Chain A
C-alpha cells in the first residue's frame, strides 16, 4: 500500500516530518519498505507543443519531433517514444536542465543532428511511478510555462507500506490514519461524503441466492454522469499510488477504495437488464471480463448476473465487458458489497486474476463501511460532474450472515501482564484501546483469576481481532514493543549437544581432517538418475508438484548427487577430488512405523576420485575407531552400484551399517568418469544412535612380551579376514597385538595362493610366559591356520 503524505494529511494533521511518520508506522507494524520523494520541481522543464514529427531513414528506434516552447520558434528534438501527435502538449527539458537522475541535457544528438532538449516521461521527472512514453499534458496550459508551476505540482512523499495479512483495514488510508493518529495523538476524521440532496427514487432489484458468499449488496443509481478525464490532481494521486488513471468514474471508484479499503464497481446502468442477481456459477458458463479475456467459470465462482441471469461480473474480482463504463455512459449503477473472503480468494487464485479489489475482499473489508463509501464516491465524482444526481431508495440487502458492527471479546488484565511482562491498569488499557476504536463496555473483577475482566467491543473494520490474545497484541503495539523491555530468561535447562549431535560433529571433524570437502547436491533427482547410478528406481517417492521434471524424485542415496558433483569438477579439471555429503535420504518403498510417513534417515557418503578401495577402507577404519565399534566386511553380497569385486557391505550383527569399496565402472562410464572412485557410505542414523561405551581401565601388564612373525601361504579362496579371525580366536587373552604386515604374490608359492605375514605379540597379564607356553600358543596359531588351508612357509 502506497501512502502519500499529502493525502494522509487530509485525514488528520500529521505534518510533513516524513522521517518521524515512517518510524511511527514501522513501530506500529506497518513496515515502511521505502520512502520516496515525488513532484520535486525540475528547473528548466517547460510546457511545449508538438508541431510535427518526422522519421529519419537511418534511425530506426527514434524519430524527430518539432516543438514550440512558447516563443514561436520551431525546436528540433530526437525522441525514442512515439506516443505523441501534433497538437499534444508535452514537457520539454531545455538545454542545461539537470534531471532528477543527475543527467544534464546537452545538444548532443545523433547522426550529426543536434537535439535542442529532451521530451520527458512522468517517471523521468519523478512524477509517476511507471509510465509508457512521453507525458501528455492536459490541454490549455501556457506554452513555455514552467511545468511544475503550470500543473501546480507540490512535492510529496510516498511511503511504501508492507501491510501484513492481519491488518486489512490498513489497505486504506482511514485504517493507517486511525492507527497513526492513536500513536501520535493526532485527531483523525473520515473523509467527507456527498452533501447534495438525494434525487428521485430509483431502485434496482437485487436477488442474492448465495447468502454466505454475499452478505451485503448495496446498489445505488447515480445519474448525470459525464464520462471524461479526471482532474489532474486525481490523476496524479492515482499515478503516485501506482494506479493508472482511466476515467473520472473508474478513478473515483479507485480513490474510494484507497481511502476506505472498500472496492466498488460501477456498471453502466443502461447496459444492465432488469436488476441484479448474485449466484454461484454453473460449470461451463463463461464471462468476457473487462480485460478482454473470456473466463471459463466453475461452480465455486460467485457471479453478478443481470435480471435475466446473464453473468455480467465476477463478484469481487473483475467486472464484465458488456456493462463497462464507456464514453457515453450517463447513469451509473454502483455496486458496494461485502463478499466472503475465501470464496473471492479461490476464484482469483484459480483464474490468476489478482486485482486490487480481490486482494481487499480476500483480506477483509469493513461490512459496515459501505454507506460512507457510496457517499464518498458521489462526492469525488461530483468534482467532474456538477449535475450528478444520487437517487434515493437505493437497494441495500443485508443478510444475517453479515458480520456484526462489533464483537465483544473478554480480556483479563492478568493476561496482559503474563504475556507482555508489564502491569497496566484497566484504565490505561481502556484508554489505549479506545484510541483505535476498541471500546470497553464493562469492567469486572474475578476473584478466581485475581484479575479484572474487560469486555471490549471490537469494531467491524478489524476482523482479525477475535480472541483475547489479539487484543493483547493491540496493547503491545500501542504500548510500543521497545517499551516492553529486554530480559534474558534464566534457562532451566543445560545447554549441550546430545550424544548423537556430538558424535555427528566428531565424524564431521574426522572426515574434514582426512581432507574431504563438504558438498551439498540437490536432494531432488531426475527420473533415471538412480538407474544411471546402478540403483533401483522402483517405489521411489516423487514430488507431486516439482518445479521441473528433472527435479522430481527424492533421492534414496547420496551417491547420484556426488557422482554428478564429481563429473562437474572433472569437467573443470579439478584435481584431488575428495568430497563428502551428510544428509537425509528417503529409501524407496519403506514407511515410518509410527506416523506412516515415508521412511527417512541420515546418510554419510565419502568419495575419492582416482582412489581405490584401500582409501575407502582407511576412511572406514578411522571412522570406526572414532565411533568406537567395527563391522564385518561382507564381500559375498554386493550393494548395487558398487564394483562387484571391490566392495563390501559393512555388517554389524543383523544391521547393515553401509558399504565400502569402489564404484561400479559401468556407473562411472555413465557419468563420464574415466578413473576409479573410492566410496564409503554409512547409515548415520544407526551409527550415531549407538551409545558410546565407557571404557573400564585394565592394568598394564608388567611382564615381558614375546613377538614373532608367521608367514603363511593362504589359498586365494580364503580371505585375510578369516585368517585374522582364526588367529584371534586361537590366541585368546594372551594375544595382545596382531598385524598383517606383508602380502606377497609370486614365485615360490603354491598355485592360487598368496603369502600373508603376520606379526603377533603375546603377553600374560599376571606372569612371565615360559618358553613352553610360548611354543604351545604358537602351535595353536599354526593349527588354526592349517584348518583354513594356510601353511606356514619355510
Chain B
C-alpha cells in the first residue's frame, strides 16, 4: 500500500469510528448506558485508541501530525458529546423529580399565630418609646401606697377637700385609712424626687385604682401615665413645648396642643391639655402644670433652686379611642375573641 493510501484509509477509518461513536452516544437509552458507553470509548483498546498505535506505522512526520490532529479532534468531539448527553439525562431526571414533588402549600399553612399583646400594653409601650426619644427615663412604683405618698406629699393634707374626689380604696392594714391602693401615678413623682436627684426627666406609667362602679367608660382598675421634669430654669414654656412635642410625635405632625387654666392641688399654675386633630376638633387629654413648691419640698428638692413640671393622662381611654372600643369593660373581660383582634 502506498503511503498516500495508508493516510487516506486511516483518515476514513477514524472518521468512521467517530461517526459510530457519536451515533452510539446519541442513541444511549439512559444515564447508565451512557456511562457504560463512555467507559468503552475510553478503554485503552478502544477503536479510536488503537489508531494511536497504528500511527507509528506512518513514515512521514507530516502524516503523523495530521493523523494526530484528526484523532485529537475526534476525541474532543466525542468527549463534548458525552458531556452534553450526560447533562441532558441529568436535567431531565431533575425535571421529572420536580414534577413528582408538587406540593399544595395552602394545605401546609398552619395557623400558628403570635400571641396578642393587650391594647393597654401596646399603648403604654408606644408612649414609653416616644418619651424615651424625648430624653425621658421610666420610673415605677408600688401599687399599694401610703397616705403620705398618695396625698399628703402632693399638697393634699389630711383635711384637703380635693381628697374626696379620688374615691380612694383603702386596705385593712395598719391604722384605718393609712394604706391604700394608689389613686393616681403621682406618688411615683415623690419617690423619684427622693431617690433620683435632679435633673429628672421621667415618665411613670402604671396601674391605678378608684372606687368607681364599672360602666362603659370607667373601670375601678385602670392605667395612667405621668411625666415629671425637674431641672434648673424649667418654665411653663418648657411644659407647653414638651406637650406639643409629645403630641406631634405620638399622634402625628398634623396634631397641635393647647393648655388652658385648670386646678390641681399638686401643680401651680395648672392646666388641662387638649389636642387638636386635623379636622379642627379639640380633644381633652389630661392635666399638667408647674410642680407646686410644696410638692418639691415633700420630695426633698429646694424650690428656690429647681423648678419643674408634671403632666398625666389615662392610657385606657387612649387605647379605647384608638381601636374604637365601645365599652371599656370589653378590654378587661379576657375574652380571646376580643384579645385576638389586635
Contact = CB atoms under 8 A, between A and B. Distances in A.
A454 B12 CA distance: 128
Interface in A527-548: 541-547
Contacts of A421: 235-238
B112 A515 contact: yes
A476 B172 CA distance: 43
Q: Ordered nearest first, which 9 A-B pairs have the shortest CB separation?
A: A491-B135, A29-B261, A421-B235, A164-B263, A565-B334, A495-B132, A473-B269, A421-B237, A518-B118
Interface in A436-485: 467, 469-470, 472-473, 476-477, 481-482, 484-485
B271 A481 contact: yes
Interface residues of B, number: 84
A477 B269 contact: yes
A546 B168 CA distance: 10
A518 B240 CA distance: 35
A482 B161 contact: no
B325 interface: no
B311 interface: no
A464 to B, nearest CB: 8
A283 to B, nearest CB: 21
Interface string B246-267: 0000000000001111110000
Given A166-B263, A476-B261, A572-B335, A419 B118 contact: no
15 contacts: A26-B260, A31-B272, A418-B307, A419-B290, A421-B238, A469-B268, A473-B269, A485-B237, A486-B244, A489-B238, A495-B136, A512-B116, A517-B339, A519-B339, A545-B170
A477 B262 CA distance: 10
- Most chain B CB atoms below 10 A, which of A28, A482, A490, A520: A520
Question: On chain A, which size bracket covers the interface?
Answer: 35 or more
B226 interface: no
B241 A489 contact: yes
A458 to B, nearest CB: 15
A544 B268 contact: no
Contacts of B143: 584, 600
Interface stretch (A143-151, A203-211, A575-583, A755-763): A575-583
Nearest to B125: A505
A486 B235 contact: no
A595 interface: yes
A496 interface: yes
B179 interface: yes
A396 to B, nearest CB: 28
Given A421-B238, A481-B240, A493-B201, A543 B207 contact: no
A470 B265 CA distance: 11
A305 B23 CA distance: 135
B173 to A, nearest CB: 6
B125 to A, nearest CB: 7
A493 B334 contact: no
B38 interface: no
B241 A481 contact: no
Nearest to B200: A493
Contact of B142 (A495, A497, A600): A600
A586 B258 contact: no
A446 B73 CA distance: 113
B114 to A, nearest CB: 6
B221 interface: yes
A495 B262 contact: no
B113 A342 contact: no
B138 A501 contact: yes
A27 to B, nearest CB: 6
Given A518-B118, A542-B171, A485 B199 contact: no
Contacts of B323: none
A487 interface: yes
A554 interface: yes
B116 A518 contact: yes
Given A420-B236, A514-B115, A600-B142, 7 more contacts: A469-B290, A473-B269, A489-B238, A494-B137, A513-B114, A519-B334, A554-B171
A384 B294 CA distance: 52
A345 to B, nearest CB: 6
Given A421-B238, A513-B115, A541 B272 contact: no
B115 A512 contact: yes
Contacts of A586: 144
A565 B123 CA distance: 22
Contacts of B220: 524, 547, 551
A495 B135 CA distance: 4
Contacts of A362: 161
Given A485-B240, A543-B172, A492 B235 contact: no
Nearest to B339: A517
Contacts of B144: 541, 554, 586, 597-598, 600
A438 to B, nearest CB: 15
B199 A418 contact: no
Given A419-B236, A543-B172, A492 B125 contact: no
Contacts of A472: 268-269
B3 to A, nearest CB: 65
B324 interface: no
A592 B173 CA distance: 13
A488 B260 contact: no
A523 B221 contact: yes
Nearest to B214: A547
Contacts of A85: none
A574 B144 CA distance: 35
Contacts of A728: none
A244 B128 CA distance: 50
B184 interface: no
A522 interface: yes
A498 B137 contact: yes
A69 B145 CA distance: 69
Contacts of B56: none
Nearest to B243: A486
B174 A577 contact: no
A544 B172 contact: yes
Given A523-B221, A541-B172, A579 B138 contact: no
B97 interface: no
Contact of A470 (B200, B268, B272): B268
Interface string A545-589: 111000100100000000011001100101001111001101000
Contacts of B199: 491-493
A489 B171 contact: no
Nearest to B132: A495
B134 A495 contact: yes
